[in-house]
Amino acid sequence: MPDSKRKEKSEVSIIGTGRLGTTLAVALAGKGYSIRSLVARRLQSARKAASFLDADVQVLTAKQLRTLIDADLFLITVPDDQIAWVARELREIDADRKEMTALHTSGALSSEVLAPLRETGWSTGSIHPLMSVSGTQDGDAALRGAFWSVEGDKGALRLGKAIVRDLGGTSFSIRSGDKPLYHAAAVMASGNVVALFDVALEMLGECGLNRKTARSILAPLIASTVRHLESKDPAQALTGTFSRGDVETVKRHVAALKKLPEALELYRLLGQRSLKLTKEQPQITRILKSV
């Protein structure tokens, strides 16, 4: 890519080289951003991330954070409980640039956690990809099509949205104070679905199936449900026992689940929610309340 094009993009330092940090480094480099520095708790991790880039990159440990070379943008991709510490350390770096931006990638925290930087003239915000990032080498392919929550001050919003656009994603904004609720919704739709899937595997294990077989049986079922939810409201996508009002079937389910108390409690709670999506089913409601 010609140098004139590269200079249109921010020079970026990434603090945190886990799956998301490394993926962002590869993706942004592929879109013409200059990756200046990579920082990790262990130097080996930073060096591994740097090995995916076709450029010379400063690699540092977190203890060397104050020695970062100049950059326009500092992406903070560390765990949530480390972001405030990183902000305090960045405030102490010896930088010549007048305009610098810090964006963290937490889903639950707002840009307020970067207040130490904002108070010293930095532009601050957050960008969070609403997707599960499992690989680190696929770059922009791993992030393409993702929806990103973007919030912060005007400068940070502008830069955050530009990054999302460059990575082939779509940005949206919510009130900063609603970040915890937003992130809890993401956990409900992703992490908790994985946990429910594991409960279903346990239930099929009680039926004599091994986990590999159970997984191969259930995966197409959950995939078909996701396809329905892509085009239908939950009330329309709901199928099965609760949507049909099968009273006797619910009784059989409850009886069978008594040997799995945790699964029974989940069945009861989610069953009550399913009933809210259907016409009134007083008999089933009574059964679930009696569990």
Q: Which position has the higher pLDDT, 1 or 147?
A: 147
147 and 82 co-located in one domain: yes
In a domain, 1, yes or no: no
CA distance 289 to 115: 47
CA separation (Å) from 55 to 27, 28, 58?
14, 13, 10
**C-alpha gyration radius of the chain:** 24
pLDDT, the chain, mean: 93
Q: What pLDDT was estimated at residue 291? A: 93
Asked, for residue 146, whether it belongs to a domain, the answer is yes
pLDDT in tens, 153-198: 999 999 999 999 999 999 999 999 999 999 999 999 999 999 999 9
Q: How confident is the model at residue 98 (pLDDT cuts 50, 70, 90)?
A: low
What gap in Å lies between CA 34 and CA 82, rounded to an integer?
25
Domain boundary among 121, 149, 175: 175
Residue 71's closest CA among 30, 13, 111?
13
> Pick from 175, 203, 225: which residue ends a domain?
175
When pLDDT is cut at 50, 70 and 90, the band that residue 5 belongs to is very low
Based on the domain organization, do 140 and 264 belong to the same domain? no
Structure tokens at 4: 């004139």
**DSSP per residue, 237-284:** H--SHHHHT-HHHHHHHHHHHTT-HHHHHHHHHHHHHHHHTSS--HHH
Q: Residue 268 pLDDT > 80, yes or no?
A: yes
Quote the number of domains for the chain.
Answer: 2
Domain carrying residue 249:
189-289
| 194 and 129 within one domain | no
Q: Which residue has the higher pLDDT, 95 or 160?
A: 160
SS3 46: helix
The CATH number assigned to the domain holding 282 equals 1.10.1040
Is the pLDDT score of 85 beyond 80? yes
**Encoding tokens for residue 94?**
């010896």
Largest distance between two CA atoms of the chain: 73
**pLDDT range class, residue 4, cuts 50, 70, 90:** very low
Which amino acid is it at 236?
Q
pLDDT of residue 96: 64
222 and 133 belong to one structural domain:
no
The 10s digit of each residue's pLDDT in 118-149 is: 999 999 999 999 988 766 566 667 799 999 99
Cβ-based burial of 94 (10 A; exposed 0-12, middle 13-18, buried ≥19): exposed
Same domain, yes or no, for 132 and 258? no
